[in-house]
Amino acid sequence: MINIKRWYHSDCTIGRLSIADFQCFTLELADLNNQSNRSCIPEGVYNYETYNSPKHGEVLLLLEVENRSYIEVHAGNFTRQIRGCILVGDSVKWIDSDSIPDVSNSKNTLKKLLKLAGDSGQIRVEQ
């Protein structure tokens, strides 16, 4: 099982993802009560499967997220690249000039995660 432990901020949601001995950071939008394309997803346990996204390539696709669809764990660095999905990276940094934290080395971090995650499984998202 993949676990994400979150910290909520007014402008984003930062998390620590772990699976086996692997750990990385996650970046999501702020918690806006599960508004589609504007909010992080609710806490809970979700099934996932690998998915070949037309926009992001191979990703993890979360299934049966309440009132949401196509929630992906994909590569990216900035909250402006998120429409309700989850980005992964090996560290939290301020890469651009805004005041919102970013994640770095996202493509390589996603590759490592995909190798460990398998074709399907579960992901727990909690505070």
Mean residue pLDDT of the chain comes to 97
Report the alpha-carbon distance of residue 43 to residue 52 in Å, rounded. Answer: 25
Q: Which pTM was predicted?
A: 0.96
Mean pLDDT of 77-83: 95
